[in-house]
Amino acid sequence: MSKDLKFETRAIHVGQERDAATGATIVPVYQTATFTQDAIGKNRGYEYSRNDNPTRHALEDALASLEGGRFCFAYASGMAAIAGVAGILKSGDHVVVADDLYGGTYRLFSKQLPNLGIQFTYVDATRPEEIDKAVTPDTQMIWIESPTNPLLRLVDISACAEIASRHGAHLVVDNTFATPYLQNPLALGAHISVHSTTKYIGGHSDVIGGAVVVDDDDLRDRLLLVRNATGGVPGPWDAWLTLRGLKTLAVRMRQHEINAAQVAEFLLTRNEISQVYYPGLPDHPGHEIAKQQMRGFGGMVAIAMEGGAAAAERLCEATKIFCLGESLGGAESLIGYPWSMSHGAFPPEEKRRKGITEATVRLSVGIEDADDLCDDLRQALDRSARAG
């Protein structure tokens, strides 16, 4: 299908042609582990669903198109996707990592992979010169998020790509917060784009998944080998649910952003809040970079409560529309406490060094009515203030 088609059209049609056997308009759920072969060595494109499955193949084709790459690999979770990329590393390799990153990624990088002889150096990636200084002859990867989780810092992807290419390393970008609708790391020079499709791509908080997109034949071969060897693939039903969510990604992201901007502006008016983190605010330190490399500012907002841990905990427990829970990117709004939830894997001193404190609260702003969301936060802040 033509690459000239717009994002919204490709999200609905790429990889999703009518079923050849029945004419079904929607990709079927090929709920099968194996495929009957016509003869030894003769099949119809599929052998075993760990290797490939038509439902998963449709999802991968669509995501590759939207992310601007030729190859996509779907995984059973976002962490499986991250582990799949890390799986192409070997003992003795070195990785430079943005120190503001998801707690699950940090857990893998700090607790598991060093046991295999892989070394990591953490730097402030908002200063690309710090990445450059940390590179060694053994550096094989530079790993960043942008916007970062949870404080929504912006990292200059093009600058990081230049550094990676100059040193013969691969730049990996976790693009979960931005999604392919708002940002395409490969077009900015990155080599690998990673997603937790559980979040905005699936979009309905009902399926776990991950994806990796590349545009390089060698990376494609290495990732395929690791995934086939380790088997961290999604089942066909999970792939189908993710593909269904992908169809509406564009319209959802537009509403997420509209709502997040209104929520951020409202939160700026509250004395109980000492800091509002949202890339769409003109005084956000990464606002200009966001305008350069993104097509919008997304649906995530973080705040710091003036009253510290007690005020943050009271707020998290006082909202009615914002559900207190892990994850993000669903149609419904979520409120989270990074200190003990999404970033609980970090030691306390590391969290504080990154700017994550007991007063930090993360909001995944959903697609409900924005006035209702602001009213919910207003009543929660009022209740929290009275209780304090």
Distance CA 102, CA 117 (A): 22
Task: Yes or no: say if 158 and 185 are a contact pair by the CB < 8 Å rule.
Answer: no
Q: Mind listing the domains of the chain with CATH numbers?
A: 7-246 (3.40.640.10), 250-387 (3.90.1150.10)
Residue 41 pLDDT: 87
Reading the chain (388 residues) residue by residue, the pLDDT tens digits are: 667 899 999 999 999 999 998 999 999 999 999 999 999 989 999 999 999 999 999 999 999 999 999 999 999 999 999 999 999 999 999 999 999 999 999 999 999 999 999 999 999 999 999 999 999 999 999 999 999 999 999 999 999 999 999 999 999 999 999 999 999 999 999 999 999 999 999 999 999 999 999 999 999 999 999 999 999 999 999 999 999 999 999 999 999 999 999 999 999 999 999 999 999 999 999 999 999 999 999 999 999 999 999 999 999 999 999 999 999 999 999 999 999 999 999 999 999 998 999 999 999 999 999 999 999 999 999 998 888 7
**Which residues carry out catalysis?**
50, 102, 174, 199
Please report how many Cα atoms fall inside a 13 Å half-sphere around the Cα of residue 248, on the Cβ side: 14
DSSP string, 139-198: EEEEEEESS-TTT-----HHHHHHHHHHTT-EEEEE-TTTHHHH--GGGGT-SEEEE-TT
What's the first-to-final CA gap in the chain, in angstroms? Answer: 58
Q: What is the pTM of this model?
A: 0.96
pLDDT in the model for residue 143: 98
Adjacent-strand bridge partners of 336: 362
Give the number of other Cβ atoms within 10 Å of residue 157's Cβ.
Answer: 29
Nearest CA to 156 among 98, 216, 82, 94? 98
CA distance 144 to 328: 19
Q: CA 210, CA 173: separation in Å to the nearest integer?
A: 14
pLDDT at 2: 64
CA distance 293 to 304: 26
DSSP string, 353-377: HHT--TTEEEEE--SS-HHHHHHHH
Report the alpha-carbon distance of residue 107 to residue 102 in Å, rounded.
9
**CA count, 13 A, side-chain hemisphere, 147:** 31
pLDDT confidence of residue 385: 86
- What integer pLDDT is reported at residue 387 of this predicted model? 86
- Bond prior to 147 in cis (omega within 30° of 0): yes
Residue 191: which of 68, 295, 13, 59 has the closest Cα? 68
Q: What is the largest CA-CA distance in the chain?
A: 74
CB 207 within 8 A of CB 180: no
